[in-house]
Structure 1
Amino acid sequence: MSNSDLVIGFLEDDPDQSDLILLWLEQAGYKTRLFQSAAEFRRGLGSEAVDLLLLDWMLPDSSGPEVIEWIRSSANAELPVIFLTARNSEADMVRGLNAGGDDYVVKPAKQHELVARVAAVLRRIGIENVDRGQFELPPYSIDTRRRRISWDGQDVELTPREFELAAFLFRRHGRIVSRDSLLENVWNMNASVSTRTVDTHVSRLRKKLDLNGEYGWRLAAVYQHGYRLEQT
């Protein structure tokens, strides 16, 4: 997939810091989403709406380790998190990584190093070929430039909306994605809109791609939460 398909979140209450870091990420081709408090992150579907989170340690209503502990006990415990903080002691680094951080960057961050660390963590969690517009989850291949999904080398006929839905779910495999998040990110609709459109499209996608577990992947409904594409 291209970087522009990926959303990097930043949980940071300092506007000068956030403006600079988000600019760097956008220059690298990523979409960005800012959260200025832990409460905003929890309310704003943060763990569903982003592919990776940059996390400050000192927040107005929580601490970085408390936020990551919440993430690791949530429905989307696999969300990759990089600490980005001024706390530079070895004890803090150890605590941050032991709490579940995937990496630890000390402020002031260097632009190219930070972007490289983001890309490295994304690769480690299975998002390969970030700059090449294609990623693999065998037997499926997702080509975001041609906007096609193939299964064992054969293209599957999908509508544009079905492709967007499939790419969103494949990119977040293993994570629960709510209907609200799908409405917001795939349909560009307000999450408060009540509709069965998501369920109908998910059902069609499950049939077209045989996401019933027989071929290694299952698109499962998670009661009172949403959907999760899981490996069987």
Structure 2
Amino acid sequence: MRIVLLEDNLTQSTLVCAWLRNAGHDVHSFMLTRELQRFCNRESVDLYLLDWMMPDISGEEFLRWLRSERRDHTPAIFITSRDTEDDIVTGLAAGADDFIIKPVSQRVLMSRIEAVLRRSKPREAEASMDLPPYLVDHAQKRILLHGEVLDLTEKEFDLAAFMFRNLGRLLSRGHLLEAVWGRNPDLATRTVDTHISRVRSKLHLGPENGFRLLPTYNFGYRLERVEASEASEAETPHAA
């Protein structure tokens, strides 16, 4: 998972980042909220871990901005020393999915993260995803279209499966690159564009099959369902 940590205490940030990376997550840490806001304008993530009391903009203000201005509903957990009942209510009202009081232990943090991600992405643990006319078979790493196995490379399968798991979400190129290829500085985001083109072609993604893969300028891609009316129009021949 790609996780963002907003924490201005260097010792705490270093410790939590180590826990997350040891668990196999990709972590991006920020000590100023404005820097995180700039990051959010060009990148997507799977989870936000937010301190409340920050030197510039509070974590609570950031989360309200994320939900209202960015319309981003990515799961978010507060990790904070704010521990009154009013604080918890305010944090949850701002859009938080969970609230952890400092000091936090590694076991509690990892358990809360797993629980939030399990609720937000229930398909992650499934052996297969049935999204007619597609079947994404994670066990055998293959995708079927109308019952026929498609000819995909391993990376093409991983990319397509990740897009299906995040159906409807706008995903940045950097997010896709980390999710499929890992944090490899030698790879350019153009690698994502090339593979997206191949996946779109090999999966025949379009209104006729009920899905489309759309680019967003200077950001990334979104796989979304096509409304039945659009699919019908695509299948109906136009008069000359």
User: TM-score, normalising length from structure 1?
Assistant: 0.77
Residue matched to 1:204: 198
Given the alignment, which residue of 84, 101, 126 partners 1:89? 84
Which residue of the partner structure matches residue 129 of structure 2?
136
Deviation for aligned residue 1:183: 5.6
Return the index of the structure with the highest Cα Rg. Answer: 2
Q: State how 1:50-199 maps to structure 2 within 5 Å.
A: 50-75=45-70, 77-130=72-125, 134=127, 136=129, 138=131, 139-141=134-136, 143=138, 147-150=141-144, 155-179=149-173, 181-182=175-176, 188=184, 198-199=192-193
1:228 maps onto 2:222 in alignment = yes
Distance 1:120 1:82 in 2: 11
| RMSD (Å), alpha carbons | 3.2
Q: CA deviation at 1:78?
A: 2.0
Change over 3 Å in CA distance of 1:93–1:202 after alignment to 2 = same
What amino acid does structure 1 have at the position aligned with 2:163? L
| Unmatched 5+ stretches in structure 2 | 227-240
Structure 1 residue 205, shift from structure 2 partner? 1.2
Cα gap change, 1:27 to 1:38, in 2 (>3 Å): same
Q: Which residue of 2 aligns with 1:8?
A: 3
Q: Which moved more, 1:155-164 or 1:48-57?
A: 155-164
Residue type at the aligned position of 2:108: E
Question: How far apart in 1 are the matches of 2:197 and 2:106?
Answer: 43
Evaluate the alpha carbon distance shift between residue 45 and residue 168 of structure 1 in structure 2; reply closer, same or farther with a 3 A threshold.
farther
Kindly tell me: are residues 228 and 16 of structure 1, through their superposed partners in 2, closer, same or farther at Cα, counting changes over 3 Å?
same
The 2-side partners of 1:153 and 1:76 are apart by 36
Structure 1 residue 222: Cα displacement: 3.3
CA distance in structure 1 between the partners assigned to 2:81 and 2:128 by the alignment: 35
2:26 equivalent in structure 1: 31
Contact 1:82 1:105 in 2 (8 A): yes
> In structure 2, the residue corresponding to 1:44 is in which secondary structure?
helix
CA distance in 1, matches of 2:42, 2:89: 23
Native 8 Å contact 1:12 1:55 kept in 2: yes
Unaligned 5+ segments in structure 1 are 1-5
Please tell me whether the aligned partners of residues 45 and 181 of structure 1 are also in contact (alpha carbons under 8 angstroms): no
Range with bigger deviation, 113-122 or 30-39: 30-39
* Count of matched residue pairs: 222
Q: Judging changes above 3 Å, is the alpha-carbon distance between structure 1 residues 15 and 88 closer, same or farther for their aligned structure 2 residues?
A: same
**In structure 2, C-alpha distance between the alignment counterparts of 1:48 and 1:76, rounded to whole Å:** 14
The offset of 1:83, in angstroms, is 0.7
Change (3 A) 1:80 1:36: same
Q: For the Cα contact (< 8 Å) 1:174–1:231, is it kept in 2?
A: yes
Deviation for aligned residue 1:161: 3.8
Percent of residue pairs bearing the same amino acid type: 45
Aligned-partner Cα distance in 2 for 1:95–1:42: 21
Contact 1:211 / 1:219 at 8 angstroms: preserved in 2?
A: yes
Query: Is the alpha carbon distance of 1:65 and 1:199 closer, same or farther for their aligned partners in structure 2, counting shifts above 3 Å?
Result: same
Q: Secondary structure at the match of 1:202?
A: helix
User: Which is richer in helix?
Assistant: 2
